[in-house]
Amino acid sequence: MTTYDVVIRNGTVVTAAETTQCDIGIRNGKVVTLADSLDDADRVIDATDKLVMPGGIDSHCHIEQESSGGIQSADDFYSGTVSAVHGGTTTIIPFAAQHRGQSLVDVVQAYHELARPKAVIDYAFHLIISDPTEEVIAKELPALIDDGYTSFKVYMTYDALRLDDRQMLDILACAREEGAMVMVHAENHEMIQWLTSRLLDRGHIEPRYHAIAHAGIAEGEATHRAIRLSELVDTPILVVHVSDQKAINEIRAAQAAGLRIYGETCPQYLFLTAEDLDRDGMEGAKYCCSPPPRDDANQQLVWDGLANGTFQVFSSDHAPYRFDETGKLSAGPNPPFTKIANGVPGIELRLPLLFRGVKEGRLSLQQFVTLASANAARIYGLYPRKGTIAIGSDADIAIWDPEAEMTVSYDQLHDDVGYTPYEGIQLTGLPVTMLSRGRVVVDEGELLVDRGSGEFLRCERPAMARPLGRLLREVDPSRNFGADILDEDMISGDAGQGAS
C-alpha cells in the first residue's frame, strides 16, 4: 500500500506567508506531508519549474442567478465551475439571491438544488438580502448563519434591491450579534437616478452614458456612508467591486483610523476603461457593469490599492450575460443604457489577469496568493481548510507555469457567455494542473472529473467579522444615559464568537 494518493514533486511552493522548495504529500484529500523528497504515491506530479500555489477562491461571482430584472445569467453551476477551475480557481462563493417577498431559507434550498448536481469544484454561498423583514432579521438570518452561511451582500442602489440606511443598520446590527460578514455594493442611488433622468431627457441613451450616470462621486459618497453606518454599530464590512479614487480614499482613511473596513476590486477595473463603453454600435454594452470601469488614472490607483493593502480581496464579479436577447439585449437590439443587463464575465481570467501584476513587478508572489485565495478564505470563514498549503488543509492546489503565454481569445475559454471583454490581452503565466481535495480536476486543459463532484462548504464565523468593541457614545449604554440602544449581548464584544 502506498503512503500517499498524490505527491507533487520539485515545485516552488508559494503561500501567503512564504516561498519554499518542497514536495507535497496528499492523502484522503488533505495535505499530510511537506518534505524535501517524497515519492511513495499512486500518482506523482512533476512540478519542475512550476509554481505550486493554493487554489484560487473567487468570492464574488453570480452563477445560475436571475437578476432583479428577471434576466438569467448565462452560466449554470457546471459551466461556471468548469470555467473557474480552468482559470486557477478551486472554490467559488456565489450568491443565493433573495428577491422581495421571498423567504431566505427557501432561496438557499433552491440554489442547493441548482448547484448539487452540477458543480465540479467546491462552493459556499453568500446571501443577497433585498427584503429584510422582521422574520428575516430575527429568525431566518441567525439560523442560516448557524448553518454556515456567514456572509451576506446588501445593495445601496437598484430599485428592486436597495436598502435604506435604517434597513442597513438593522442588518449590520444582526451581523454584529451573530458574527457574520456584510458585503456592501456602495453607490448613491439618488445621484445615479438624477443623472440618468437628465441624460435620458436629452436623448443620451448609448452604452457610454452608463459610465456617466454611475459617476465616481456616487460610489465615493455611498462608500463613506456605508463606513459611517458600520462605525455606528461597530460592525466590520467589506466594500465590494471598488473602482474609483474617492471610494479608495474612503476605505484607506477608515483603515488608517483603525476601523475594520475591507475592500475588494476586480479585473475590469485594472484592464477596462469607460472608453470601452463607447465602442461602435452596441458593442459597448458588453462592458456595462456597476460600478463601471473608470480611466487610466483610476486603473493605476486600483493597482496601488492591491499592492498597499487597501484591497484584501480580488474577485471576478463574474456576471455573465450573453450578447443577445437572453442577456445584454433583452430589451431589444438597441436598448437605452438603463435597460442593458449589468455585468461582465471574468471567472476564468481573474487569476491570469492578476498574475500579470506579478510579471510586471507590481505584486509579489505572496501578495498574489493573498489576494487570490488566502484573504477570501479568512474573510469568509474557510481558513485554513482553504486558502493555504499546510498540513491538514484541503489539497486544493494550482500548479502554474509562470512562462506559459496566452493571447486572450474567447474560443479558449469554458464559460457559456459567448464573448470576453478581455479579448486580445497578452498574458504570461497560466495554471496547467488543478487539484481539488486531492483530485486532479484539470490537467493540460483536460477536465478529468464528473459534474456534481464538487462539495458544499459550510463557512465558520470569520474572525475578521468580529467587532472592535469601540462603540460610539450614542449606542454605548455605559455612556449614553442608559438608553440601551444595543442589546447587552452585543455590547460585550463576545457575540458570535463561540463558533469561530
Give dist(CA 151, CA 93) in Å, integer: 10
| Structure confidence at residue 482 (pLDDT) | 66
Give dist(CA 191, CA 213) in Å, integer: 8
Three-class secondary structure of residue 463 per DSSP: helix
| Structure confidence at residue 488 (pLDDT) | 57
| Closest alpha carbon to 93 in 127, 131, 116, 126 | 126
pLDDT digits (tens, 9 = 90+) for 190-238: 999 999 999 999 999 999 999 999 999 999 999 999 999 999 999 999 9
DSSP secondary structure, 145-186, as one string: HHTT--EEEEESSSTTTB--HHHHHHHHHHHHHHT-EEEEE-
Distance between the two ends of the chain, CA-based, in angstroms? 38
pTM to 2 decimal places: 0.95
| Structure confidence at residue 70 (pLDDT) | 87
| Residue 50: count of CB within 10 angstroms of its CB | 22
Q: What is the DSSP letter of 465?
A: G
pLDDT band at 486; cut points 50, 70, 90 = low
Domains defined along the chain, listed by start: 4-20+34-52+393-447 (2.30.40.10), 54-379 (3.20.20.140)
The answer, yes or no, to whether residue 477 has pLDDT greater than 60, is: yes
Report cis status (omega within 30 of 0) of the bond before 384: yes
Give dist(CA 359, CA 192) in Å, integer: 38
pLDDT digits (tens, 9 = 90+) for 326-356: 999 999 999 999 999 999 999 999 999 999 9
| Closest alpha carbon to 32 in 357, 302, 395, 315 | 395
Q: How many Cα atoms occupy the beta-carbon half-sphere of 231 within 13 Å?
A: 16
pLDDT digits (tens, 9 = 90+) for 140-191: 999 999 999 999 999 999 999 999 999 999 999 999 999 999 999 999 999 9
| Structure confidence at residue 76 (pLDDT) | 98
Amino acid identity for residue 426 in this structure: Q
The answer, yes or no, to whether residue 500 has pLDDT greater than 60, is: no
Largest CA distance in the chain: 76
Residues paired with 182 in a beta bridge: 152, 237
